[in-house]
Structure 1
Amino acid sequence: MDRSERYVITAETLLRAYAAGVFPMAETRDAEDLFWVDPELRGIFPLDGMKISKSLYKTIRQKKFDVRCDTNFLGVMEKCAESTETRPDTWMNEDVFRLYNELFQMGCAHSVECWEGDELVGGLYGVSLGAGFFGESMFSRRPNASKVALMHLVARLRLSGYSLLDTQFVTEHLETLGAIEIPRRAYHLLLDEALQIPVLTFYSDPIEDELASELEDMFLQSRTQTS
């Protein structure tokens, strides 16, 4: 089928899909179509249950990376889509780039970025809807860079009053950081609650002391849960 003849998903359709609990993926970078996913077991990060090791918190406090938000959204997506030794291909195709960049332009998608000077070395991006944030992908080109970006994301979500951080699936790596799996029905209940809260402003530029205090609280919570 010619591309002009097939159904083209819009950014508005994508937001409705997230509100219904589904998200899109492509088979490969070159795939022409997307398919919708609604896993039986859904991955989430409880915002009060992050796992922060002493070494990670030390990296955060030392400010080894310059952490920014929304300064290079497309760059984060491109880095997330790059081939790696463990993942030679990606689920992010042309439509994915188009759709999420449209959401970014609408203020409905955000990136958290770790920089070393002028080099983007880690980060993540996702979609914001109501009091829910739906993480899409993250990357790291330096040790702990993606972890630092994730913890900064969670601190901003907590400060902004979000109630749900969706990670779609749980991997062993995400589990070490606090991700858990819940049944589809339980996820949809959390999603419905998050969507009842008015659209929140993503806290992209918090006061430095406030952000540092929130990260410290997250670390102390983590130590209490593991002690």
Structure 2
Amino acid sequence: MTRNQYDIEEIIRGYAQGYFLMANEPGAGLAWYSSRERALIPLDNRFRYPRSLQRVLNQERFTTAISRDFCAVVEGCANRETTWISDELKAIYWELHQAGWAHSFEVWQGDELAGGILGIVIGGAFIGESMFYRIPDGSKVAMVKLVERLRARQFILFDAQMTNPHLERFGAFIISQRDYQRLLRQALQCNCSFL
């Protein structure tokens, strides 16, 4: 990806205040968004996953990596019929990655990228931007292994922004904007290492 000039500090300040970037209509640029409710992935005992997935995990067919192929994960997340990840947002993610803020948590099957999760790390918060899979169970394994990593490194917030039936299978839940802001403030006080 080519290097563009974005104010990375300003972008991080936006995320630290509870906003997230999305592309508007094609060609209309980016805008900051917030919502009255926020979806979180639990990092406590409310996190769950299907029993069938435990069998997949036990088979150890997949390995995990962080930002081994960041650009491929961004492209995988953007490669869908309807996407908010525009070319401009891809460039911003790349700059955030270069600055140490954005990471891809990846699942590999041999030399093939099976799936991954794109996120921004600030303090003790992992702000999930998107996820994808190319091989069945790739994104599910990524979710389980990412939660294990966040727990081990004492993160307190895994922000999924918006929920869907897939995330609800893992225990995703909704909180109010006020509660989200409180948790985010706590997370920003933490000095967690994602790498």
- The two structures have a TM-score, normalised by structure 2, of 0.92
* Counterpart-to-counterpart distance in 2, 1:10 and 1:128: 17
Displacement after TM superposition at 1:69 (Å): 1.4
Q: Which residue of 1 aligns with 2:193?
A: 201
User: Which residue identity lines up with residue 151 of structure 2 in the other structure?
Assistant: R
Would you tell me which structure has more helix in proportion to its own residues? 1
Q: Which residue of 2 aligns with 1:173?
A: 166
Displacement after TM superposition at 1:116 (Å): 2.1
Q: Secondary structure at the match of 1:42?
A: strand
* Counterpart-to-counterpart distance in 2, 1:52 and 1:173: 10
The C-alpha deviation readout for 1:65-117, integer Å capped at 9, x for no partner, is 1221110011100011112xxxx121001221111111111221111111222
Question: 1:1-227, aligned counterparts within 5 Å?
Answer: 9-28=6-25, 30-48=26-44, 49-83=46-80, 88-198=81-191, 200-203=192-195
Would you tell me which structure has more strand in proportion to its own residues? 2
Identity level (%): 41
Gaps of 5+ in 2: none
User: Which residue identity lines up with residue 175 of structure 2 in the other structure?
Assistant: I
User: Which residue identity lines up with residue 97 of structure 2 in the other structure?
Assistant: F
Displacement after TM superposition at 1:32 (Å): 4.3
* Counterpart-to-counterpart distance in 2, 1:60 and 1:14: 36
Number of residue-to-residue matches in the alignment? 190
Displacement after TM superposition at 1:9 (Å): 4.6
* Counterpart-to-counterpart distance in 1, 2:63 and 2:180: 34
Gaps of 5+ in 1: 1-7, 204-227
Displacement after TM superposition at 1:202 (Å): 0.6
Question: Root-mean-square deviation (CA), in Å?
Answer: 1.4
Structure 1 moving runs of 4+ over 6 Å: none
* Counterpart-to-counterpart distance in 2, 1:27 and 1:89: 12
Displacement after TM superposition at 1:12 (Å): 1.5
* Counterpart-to-counterpart distance in 2, 1:26 and 1:141: 24
* Counterpart-to-counterpart distance in 2, 1:122 and 1:46: 21
User: Which residue identity lines up with residue 36 of structure 1 in the other structure?
Assistant: W
Displacement after TM superposition at 1:134 (Å): 0.1
User: Which residue identity lines up with residue 158 of structure 2 in the other structure?
Assistant: L
